[in-house]
Structure 1
Amino acid sequence: MRKLATILMIIPFLLFCAPKVGAVEKEERTWQDESIYHIMVDRFMNGSNSNDHNVDPEDPIAYHGGDLQGIIEQLDYIKKMGFTTISLSPIMANSEEGYHGKWVEDFTAVEEHFGTLADAKRLVEEAHKRDMKVIFEFVVNHTSKDHPWLDEEGKENWFHEQQSTRGQSEDGWKSGLPDLNTENPEVRQYLFDAAEFWIEETDIDGYRLDSVSYVPKEFWGDFSQHVKTVKEDFLLLGEVKNSNVETIADYQSTGIDSFVNYPFYQIASETFKEPGHSLDDLYKVWEQSEQNYDSPLLLGNFLDYEDSARFTRLAVKAGQNPITRWKLGLTYLFTTPGIPMVYYGTEIPLDGGEPPANRKMMDFKAQNEELNQRIEKLNSIRDEFPALTRGNFQELHNQDGLAVFKRTYNDESMIIAINNGTETQTVELTELPDDSQMRGLLQDGLVRQSDDGMYKLGMERETADVFVIEPDQGYNWSFIAFVVGVMLLFVGSVIAISIRSRRSEQ
């Protein structure tokens, strides 16, 4: 009887806690389904003390000790948050104080502070075991000021002549760094071979291409063609720092698959740093992207990156709670069309002003449960519902900081509601199917159609939710009757056991 009673107690719990099954069968995973966690290698995790020579954590422009072994040790941590891809700052051998990886001295060697080629191979292998992809950042525009080629006989034409330029120039010395002459056939071939080297040696899945607009398009066209012959479905993610969508989209002709979405970043970081901002300009960025890009769903969207003050800093300077602001910004980031890219430390959230203050060492002890849960949940929702990775993007309402969007893919529809306003707001939605309900996935709310055919959605200030549209279930009377029956049977069993126990004592 006692075993029966235990079983009866467990049954209701299992029924209430059983996971809901997604309505749409999963398709084969492609790049638009990924979510990226971007890491500055030197500032993430020190996994091996053997390479800590000349390390000074107190000096913001010195090496701090982060390495490839440290990333390997934290792969499960990254995967637990739900990320499917890691993107690394350049790991190639750099000059002194080149902790960021941009001052390359050897294009086919691993920076000794980061580890060895064997470590790089093992990192990719361990990531692939966890069904995660790996992207390396690849620099082709320039070298370090101390590169041996500068004094090597026969390589006089490997660099453009030093000149002072303004803006983005294809033959100017960016930040005073020696500018590679990519029109030179020998330079081109060397860079092609270097790109092929890392793919063949480590089996990486993509390159993030630094300073695309500083290099002639003809080079990128040949580079893209060469790389694509080395590994199928290899991603080329270009970095064109420009606020104009059309200017960035013009580089599609080079064969680069996708681009880091700077126009998104510039608007989104300002929109979400404090309440009261409309989301109208963000939707305009999407409309421009949809018109100009062949594959707008592949754009890399972000709120934080290594060359600007942290989003946390923007919120703090605006006198806001960064946790609240991050939760709204992340919800939009993960539900808008494109690939979400999250800078390491967002989950803490790491603070910092302009570089190098925004490149602090990751502190794994300073976790923030709210942000961790929000990131995990958003990644989970995005993975479960293809409408968020493949669907269209329709604005239903956008006024006074309250924005409501709809994403549809095949027979699946999702509603994203974000109240970036300073007070509670309500909106009546009409462009939804009859006899349906909106089930909230972040706040567990439920919105049903009213008698007048409207779906009345109320959102408190500075909150966001993601809803799945499904048939109105109403009250599940059969389930309720079953649970009540089980509970009555349980009570009866307890009474029977009690009576039997008393008789035994007598």
Structure 2
Amino acid sequence: MRFKKWIGATAASVLLAASFSTASIASAEATRTIADESIYDLLVDRFFNGTGTNDIDVNAKDPTLFAGGDFKGLVAKKDFIDKMGFTIVSIGSVFDTEKYDGSMPTSYTTLEEHFGTEDELKEAITAYRASDMKIMVDFPLSNVSANHEWATDASKAAWVASSQDGKVQWDLSNSDVQQALIDAVVTFVKTSDVDGIRLTNLENADTAFVNEVIDAIKAVKSTIYIISNEESDANFDAKYYADTQEIYRNIYKNVDLDSTHIDAHVEEYINGDGIPTQLMFDNLNTNRFTLDSANENMFPPTRIKTAISGTLLLPGLPVIQYGSEIAMNGEAGPEAHQFYNFKTDTELIDYIGDLQSLRNDSETLRTGEFKWLKNENGFIAFERKSEDETWIVVINNTGETNRVNISPEEIGEGKELRGMFESEIIRKNKEGYYPIILDREMVEIYQVIEKRGLNTSYIVALALVGILYAGFMVIIIKRGRKRRAEKGQ
């Protein structure tokens, strides 16, 4: 059985590599913007325990307590994230906190001892940067623990606007509070040299003040990315809309659902204006997408595959929550923040890696000219185009085989479409169209290239798989004969 699975995996890998090799993919430019990136959103405590030296009162069986994940764990699993092709790893708040998810910070200067030291955070940032990945950290502007070092300082009593549920809200209109927050985040960026900041808990802060925070951070490090997980008119590098994850989950949680509103918040960016929107089908503060698809009596891994495809390939900044690639489940809160299980099936992990290898290698797939070809009840087809190349992405999120006809006027005469995952070749038919026919709940990416005839690389790949199979069969037969001979002695 293991032998059979190995042969199958080898065949798939070789054929996929052959498909990639037929495409003259445009290399990524040296200058990147946030639209070129993709975010893997995790919580340090829930990812991987790299050392036991900071396991203070840790209990991985109680979802409300610290589970042991730390900065050293991030370093230990760097290659795992790199394999999936993510370019930014968002690790949540890292400041001293009363809760595992960083939502009850008690300081803006001291790091959470469960996570590790300042040096260990720097080591993680350096290690990820060496693999062309950036680390992003949350910085909460308000709604912190009532035990926060500022809240317990009698001289700063005027800084507190209100208090509820064990948390305090700063008076963000107070100039002293504003300056203290700016100083704190600037000091953190200078000290850690982090590559991204996500400003959270904006608490309806004045846009002018938020822009002051952004400008102060960028004055320290001009290349740093700054986003938020709240709606704001401030000058963030990417927009956030609260209903985006609802739109996406309501399109992908089942088949044949209305998909016409999928571009609700990306139309301006598609038209060449504005900044990219953060695209996501769930986030760290919501129920898991897996829960929605399971409630629909659908097979979660297939649902997640289509959702991830749309999120990664539509114009914008993809934000994928950790554990989506292993169909992590749960309602919002600790149940959705399970400790990562690395001993699970890798099919979705491998798929994301293959998908992002294309996206990361092709500037056109990330930021090329966008055009809808079809968008009807879950069957989505669009084109990404530049002077160098043309791609067609098809997501059949319906319950039946579906098709879209591509005209020569769209892609030119004398062309053919080559599928990246199934190695399918599509040429013009008798009716004069390039017919793309896709089975239900399938995703394919086609590159438009000049008509070539026989796919030599594909044939060579098939021959190589046959040779490997024959070689292993010979080895097994010889071993069988040897064992029988030894028994007969």
What TM-score do you get using the length of structure 1 for normalisation? 0.82
Mind listing any 5+ residue stretches in structure 1 that lack a counterpart? 1-12, 163-172, 241-247, 485-506
Query: In structure 2, what is the equivalent of residue 166 of structure 1?
Result: none
1:389 to 366, 389, 397: 366
Instruction: Answer whether contact 1:121 1:203 (CA < 8 A) is retained.
Output: yes
Q: Is 2:68 the partner of 1:88?
A: no
Mapped to 1, the partners of 2:20 and 2:43 lie a distance apart of 39
Mind listing any 5+ residue stretches in structure 2 that lack a counterpart? 1-13, 464-489
- Post-superposition shift, 1:18? 8.8
Query: In structure 2, what is the equivalent of residue 455 of structure 1?
Result: 434
Q: Is 2:453 the partner of 1:474?
A: yes
1:338 to 309, 312, 316: 316
- Post-superposition shift, 1:437? 1.0
- Post-superposition shift, 1:329? 1.0
- Post-superposition shift, 1:194? 1.4
Structure with greater Cα Rg: 1
Query: In structure 2, what is the equivalent of residue 274 of structure 1?
Result: 254
1:26 to 13, 25, 28: 28
Query: In structure 1, what is the equivalent of residue 64 of structure 2?
Result: 61
Corresponding letter in the other structure for 1:87: S
Q: Is 2:178 the partner of 1:178?
A: no
Query: In structure 1, what is the equivalent of residue 412 of structure 2?
Result: 433
Corresponding letter in the other structure for 1:324: T
Instruction: Answer whether contact 2:405 2:434 (CA < 8 A) is retained.
Output: yes
Q: Which sits farther off after the overlay, 399-408 or 68-77?
A: 399-408
Query: In structure 1, what is the equivalent of residue 199 of structure 2?
Result: 209
Q: Is 2:331 the partner of 1:353?
A: yes
Instruction: Answer whether contact 1:56 1:62 (CA < 8 A) is retained.
Output: yes
Give the paired residue count: 445
Label 1:136 to 1:319 Cα distance change in 2 as closer, same or farther (>3 A): same
Mapped to 2, the partners of 1:478 and 1:277 lie a distance apart of 38
2:307 to 326, 329, 332: 329
Mapped to 2, the partners of 1:480 and 1:207 lie a distance apart of 48
Q: Is 2:412 the partner of 1:410?
A: no
Query: In structure 1, what is the equivalent of residue 4 of structure 2?
Result: none
- Post-superposition shift, 1:19? 2.9
2:44 to 27, 35, 41: 41
1:218 to 205, 208, 226: 208
2:184 to 161, 176, 194: 194
Mapped to 2, the partners of 1:50 and 1:132 lie a distance apart of 27
Corresponding letter in the other structure for 1:258: A
Mapped to 2, the partners of 1:480 and 1:178 lie a distance apart of 66
Query: In structure 1, what is the equivalent of residue 109 of structure 2?
Result: 108
Label 1:235 to 1:16 Cα distance change in 2 as closer, same or farther (>3 A): closer
Mapped to 2, the partners of 1:22 and 1:289 lie a distance apart of 27
Instruction: Answer whether contact 1:138 1:209 (CA < 8 A) is retained.
Output: yes
Query: In structure 2, what is the equivalent of residue 7 of structure 1?
Result: none
Query: In structure 1, what is the equivalent of residue 422 of structure 2?
Result: 443
Mapped to 2, the partners of 1:137 and 1:381 lie a distance apart of 29
- Post-superposition shift, 1:414? 0.9
Label 1:433 to 1:264 Cα distance change in 2 as closer, same or farther (>3 A): farther
Give the aligned CA root-mean-square deviation in angstroms: 2.6
What TM-score do you get using the length of structure 2 for normalisation? 0.85
Mapped to 1, the partners of 2:256 and 2:304 lie a distance apart of 15
1:423 to 385, 397, 400: 400
Q: Which sits farther off after the overlay, 37-46 or 424-433?
A: 424-433
Structure 1 runs (4+) deviating above 4 angstroms are 13-18, 288-293, 476-481
Corresponding letter in the other structure for 2:73: G
1:315 to 293, 313, 320: 293
Corresponding letter in the other structure for 2:326: I
**Identity %, equivalent residues:** 28
Mapped to 2, the partners of 1:17 and 1:278 lie a distance apart of 32
Mapped to 2, the partners of 1:479 and 1:220 lie a distance apart of 54
Mapped to 2, the partners of 1:474 and 1:213 lie a distance apart of 61
